[in-house]
Amino acid sequence: MKENMRLICVFVAIVGSQSGCALGSKGEALSPRYFSPEQASLPAPPPAAGELELRLGQVASASHLDERISYRLSGSEVGFYDDRRWTEVPEAYLRRALERELFERRGVQRIVTGAGPNLDVELTAFEELRGEPTRARVTLIFSLRDERRSLLEKTFSLERPVPSQAGADPEQRLAATLSSALAEAVAAVGTEVVNELARAKATEAPPSP
């Protein structure tokens, strides 16, 4: 009887010890790495002629674009890296890129109050495209309007291959490629907007006597 009790106690002790180890053990803590795509710069274009004016309106991004770096497996399937994140939401990078392109590099005058042309931009893709080769994609939808009508509505999408370099950090290469693609896409939007503003201004100008 005593031997049976001793065996039962040993068994309970072993089970309790194993349970304690299982409950107390934890997986490795997730430590995300943070990246910023604000690196690329392009040569400055000539300043906008005719003192063009513009209000930068709503700058937004698709609801799935947040601090997590996203990748696309197919046309309808998107995934996220839990351990790779942007330092800010992508729309913050987009807004600063638009401000630099339009008001600093191109010299467009910013409208703060009152009537005038208004530009709204939405970022719908800022992602890695898996495949061979891996690519980076940026897609912008923008709308230029005045008080009465829409002057320009367009979607601009840009894909660039992520270069493969032996020993190079793949996340850094993706961030650098997305940075270049964003700068190129914003420059293309800037060209479209400035050209349309110039046409609208020329149309509205009174004829010379």
DSSP state of 105: I
The pLDDT value given to residue 32? 86
Q: How many CB atoms lie within 10 A of CB 90?
A: 23
Looking from the CA of 158 toward its CB, the CA atoms found within 13 Å total 21
Q: How many CB atoms lie within 10 A of CB 30?
A: 7
Domain residue ranges of the chain, discontinuous segments joined by +: 48-204
Q: Cis peptide leading into 133, omega within 30 of 0?
A: yes
What are the φ/ψ torsions at residue 53 (nearest 5 degrees)? Answer: -125, 150
| pTM exceeding the 0.95 threshold for the entire prediction | no
Which CATH homologous superfamily contains domain 48-204? Answer: ABC-type transport auxiliary lipoprotein component (3.40.50.10610)
What are the φ/ψ torsions at residue 60 (nearest 5 degrees)? Answer: -135, 175
- pLDDT tens for the chain, 209 residues long, are 545 545 444 444 444 444 444 334 444 556 888 888 866 566 666 666 568 999 999 999 999 999 999 999 877 789 998 899 999 999 999 999 999 999 999 999 999 998 899 999 999 999 999 988 899 999 999 999 998 899 999 999 999 999 887 566 888 899 999 999 999 999 999 999 999 999 988 887 555 55
pLDDT digits (tens, 9 = 90+) for 150-207: 999 999 999 999 988 756 688 889 999 999 999 999 999 999 999 999 998 888 755 5
| Paired tokens of 22 | 């299982």
Q: How many CB atoms lie within 10 A of CB 100?
A: 17
